[in-house]
Amino acid sequence: MTAVSPPLALLAEITHRCPLQCPYCSNPVELARLADELDTATWKRVIDEAADLGVLQIHFSGGEPMVRRDLAVLVAHARACGLYSNLITSGVLLDDARLDALLTAGIDHVQISIQDTDPASADTISAYAGGLPKKRAAAQRVHRAGVALTINAVVHRQNLDRLGEMIDFACAVGAERLEVAHVQYYGWALKNRDYLMPTIDQLDAATALVDTVRRQLQGRLVIDYVIPDYYARRPKACMGGWAQHFINVSPTGAVLPCHAAETIPGLAFANIRERALADIWANDPAFAAFRGTAWMPAPCQDCARREIDWGGCRCQALALTGDAAAIDPACDRSPRHLEVFDLAARAAAGSNLVSAYRRP
C-alpha cells in the first residue's frame, strides 16, 4: 500500500505521427519513430495497469491518435476496464467508418482541435490543405452520434482576432464545451514563439470577449480559458501539480508526470517496457522530484497558494530561467517575472513567419 494517491487520468500518447504540422505543437522536437512505438499488446497492458492503479479516465492523444489502426481496439479495451475514454484529435481522419468503429468500441468523449475559422489561415497554420471542412464535418458527426464534444481552439497572435468566430463555430457544430487554449511554449511552440505570441491588446480583448460570451451562453456552452503564462500574475497548477493527478505514457513507453517532462536535464524517466506503472507512480525518483511542496524554494514554501498551484510549471521554469527548480516566472513573486512579461512583448512584435513547422 502506497501513501501516494492514485492518478485521476492517464494521458496515452499513442503516437507522434500526425498529418498536420502545426508550429505550436507541444510534442518534443525529436519525434518518436513508428518503429519505436509501443505495440497493441503493450498498450493494453498499460491500460490494465492504469485501471488497477485507480485511474478513472484515459485520454488518447498524439500526434494524431487516429493514425493508429488499433485505436478502436484500445478504446474497447479501456471500456472493458471501466475507464472513461476521451479522444483528442485533429478530426481530419474522423470519417463515418472510423467514428462508427469508435462508437462500437465505447468512446465517451471527443475533443477536436481547430487552427482557425479562416480556411486559408487554418491551412497555413497546420500546413495541411482543406482541414477546416473536415473538422467541421467530424464535429457534426460526433454531435449527431450523441457523444460528448469539446472544441479545442488553439489561439495565438495569428488567429486570436477571430476568437468570436471560433466560439460561433463551437456553437454551430453542437459542442458542449470550448477550450480556448492559448499556446503554451514547449517543444515546437517554443521554437516558434515569435510567430505565436499574442500582443497584450489582443489578449485583453479576448479576455473581455470570453467574459461577455460566458454570460450570454451560460447553460449552452462551457468555455475554459487560461491566459498565456507569460502574461499571467500567478502560475497555473500545471497538470494539476507534478505527479499529483496525471500520469503520461509516451509513444515509446516513457512514463512521465507531464508531456514535456523529458526536457528537464538530470531526471531519468522509467519505461513501461521495464517496470510496472504502479511502481513508477509511487516510487520513481523522477516522479518524487517535484511532487508536493518539500522541493519548493523559500518564497513558494511560505505562499498560501502552494497547494493550489503546486509551484506552477517546472518545464516552463526551466525554459525561462534554466532551472527547473526555480520559481515559475509566471508568478509575480519571481524575480524574473517582469523580465518574462517584457520577453512576451518583444516576441509579440516579432516575425510573422513560421520558424519551424512540426516535421519528423
User: Binding site for [4Fe-4S] cluster: which residues?
Assistant: 18, 22, 25
How far does Cα 128 stand from its chain's mean position? 20
DSSP string, 229-275: GGG-SS---GGGSTTTSEEEE-TT-BEESSTTGGGSTT----BTTTS
For 110-154, give the secondary structure using H, E and C. EEEEECCCCHHHHHHHHCCCCHHHHHHHHHHHHHHCCCEEEEEEE
Show the cell assigned to 1: 500500500
Residues that constitute the known binding site: 18, 22, 25
Q: Which residues contact 168 (CB under 8 A, 6 or more apart)?
A: 117
Question: At CA 246, angle to CA 226 and CA 125, rounded to 5?
Answer: 45
Q: Which of 168, 174, 142, 138 is nearest to 153 (CA)?
A: 168
The side-by-side arrangement of strands in the sheet containing 177-182 is 222-226, 177-182, 148-155, 109-114, 84-89, 57-61, 9-13, 246-249, 255-256
Show the cell assigned to 294: 518539500
Question: At CA 226, angle to CA 331 and CA 300, rounded to 5?
Answer: 20
**Residues composing the chain:** 360
Look at the block and give the residue holding cell 451560460: 218
Q: Please report the sign of the dihedral spanned by the C-alpha atoms of residue 211, residue 213, residue 218, residue 223.
A: negative
